[in-house]
Amino acid sequence: MSSIWDRPEPGTRKPRHSREQIAAAALAIADREGFDAVSMRRVAEEVGAGTMTLYHYVRTKADLIDLMDDAIMGEVLIPDGELPATWRAAMRMIACSSHAAFLRHPWALRAMTDSNGGPNGLRHFEQSLAAVASLEIDTRAKLELMGIVDDYVFGYVFRSAEVTAALTARATDELIEGLLPHFELQIRSGDYPHIQALFGDADTRQTWELIVDVMTAESRFEQGLDLLLDGIEAKLAGGGAWSSAG
């Protein structure tokens, strides 16, 4: 019912561990061995405690994941005083910082599903509000603007994490090799004229590498972000007010 942030750590008698330590251990395991390797037994082993001991610091595994998520959100935060003054530069910096943090922990997005948002999440929200504070649009419009940029950032991170996961599982070559046979067969059927054209003039393998390259290229993130900010800026400068739904 009540989230973990409402309940105090145990502490009247000196506990052997701490939430920070446990979260850090879980994070280390996730980074090293993947998110699926994070089990209560594995984390307990990592901190040198019995499995059930963890349940004195954390009510459920979901709570532990909340702790991990908030640690990630901590990495997203912009250090005090470094947030640019203009809304565009500020939003851009926040977006890039999020991007960087999630690239360091590709499993994080998957873990984030049904997280409730801890203190660092709140601080992140505060910073985003600060970024758009100077804009002269109503509150709803500010929230919408923040949401739209977040949508893009999360989408990029989500999709790039997908590819990253697939690539770390197998090597690029092996992955392409595995997909090729079935793929070529389909293409030759003639049902996919545009894909056929795409692969037409060049070597099949070369085109595949181009696709993987585009998907994983970091440049695409800033490219798309700037295009989106262009669109927002144009709308804001366009005299007509931000068109709210309500």
Partner DNA sequence: TAAGCTAGCGGTACACTGTACGAATGTCAA
Partner DNA sequence: TTGACATTCGTACAGTGTACCGCTAGCTTA
Q: Name residues contacting its own copies, limited to 172-231 (CB under 8 A).
A: 178-179, 181-183, 186, 191-195, 197-198, 210-211, 213-215, 217, 219-220, 223-224, 226-231
**245 touches its own copies by CB under 8 A:** yes
Asked if residue 40 lies in contact with residue 76, where contact means CB atoms within 8 angstroms, the answer is no
Of 34, 115, 55, 63, whose CA–CA distance to 47 is shortest? Answer: 55
Q: Which of residues 14-43 bind DNA (CB under 7 A)?
A: 14-17, 38-42
> In this chain, which of 27, 29, 49, 94 binds DNA, going by CB under 7 A?
49
DSSP state of 132: T
End-to-end CA distance of the chain, in Å? 32
- The partner in contact with residue 60, picked from its own copies, DNA, none with C-beta cut-offs of 5 to 8 angstroms by kind, is DNA
Chain CA centroid to CA 102, Å: 4
Of 130, 157, 159, 153, whose CA–CA distance to 228 is shortest? Answer: 153
Tokens 């993987």, residue located: 212
Asked if residue 144 lies in contact with residue 242, where contact means CB atoms within 8 angstroms, the answer is yes
**139 touches its own copies by CB under 8 A:** yes
CB of 49 to its own copies, least distance (A): 27
- The partner in contact with residue 139, picked from its own copies, DNA, none with C-beta cut-offs of 5 to 8 angstroms by kind, is its own copies
> In this chain, which of 7, 28, 33, 51 binds DNA, going by CB under 7 A?
51
State the residues that interact with DNA by CB under 7 A. Answer: 10-17, 38-42, 49-53, 55-57, 60-62
